[in-house]
Structure 1
Amino acid sequence: MNAVVKTKDIETIFDHNITSDEILALTDGYQESQEDYLYALDQDSAFADLYRLYSLRGNSDKALFFCDQITDIAFKNQFKARPCCAAHS
């Protein structure tokens, strides 16, 4: 049985030319497919992953932009200890 992929109108790491090495870094060594990634993704998780991607790339301004987009305050607070979000909180 094939999994049904939910269509998403969410900006994700896959919209940002992510490399295989970056996927591995973000997924603790698991080569996740775009289909698997999108299956259970919500908006705040997508923003968190974009924050992590741009942090990995060393672009703290872009990372901060995505951190600021997270609407769930408790979830967002998980990132406040990280340098690019802590400077803005």
Structure 2
Amino acid sequence: MATAGSMFPLWRSATLSPDSIERRVYWTGSAIGVALLFASQLPDWESATILAVAIGVSLVVVALKWTNHVKLGGRIYSVFSNNRGPERPPALRSDD
């Protein structure tokens, strides 16, 4: 769900780039999905933790391999160089 929802920006912004919006949707959806998956396995804490960590790692691997959604300290990390380019400009102009 997070991957499908992050393919297109859900809103436009004068300050945020479409890439930033897609990144926020992806990681928010991923966190909610992993939390719900963890909660679905309770009261078995051991399997809930193992499953949540495995899916969380899988989501990070997907983000590193096929998207530009891993950005730390202003730098975009990706396996392929074509995903490491500069971010697109904001979709809306600000009326400064």
When normalised by structure 1's length, the TM-score is 0.31
When normalised by structure 2's length, the TM-score is 0.29
Using CA pairs below 8 Å that are at least 6 residues apart, which structure has the higher relative contact order? 2
Larger Rg belongs to: 2
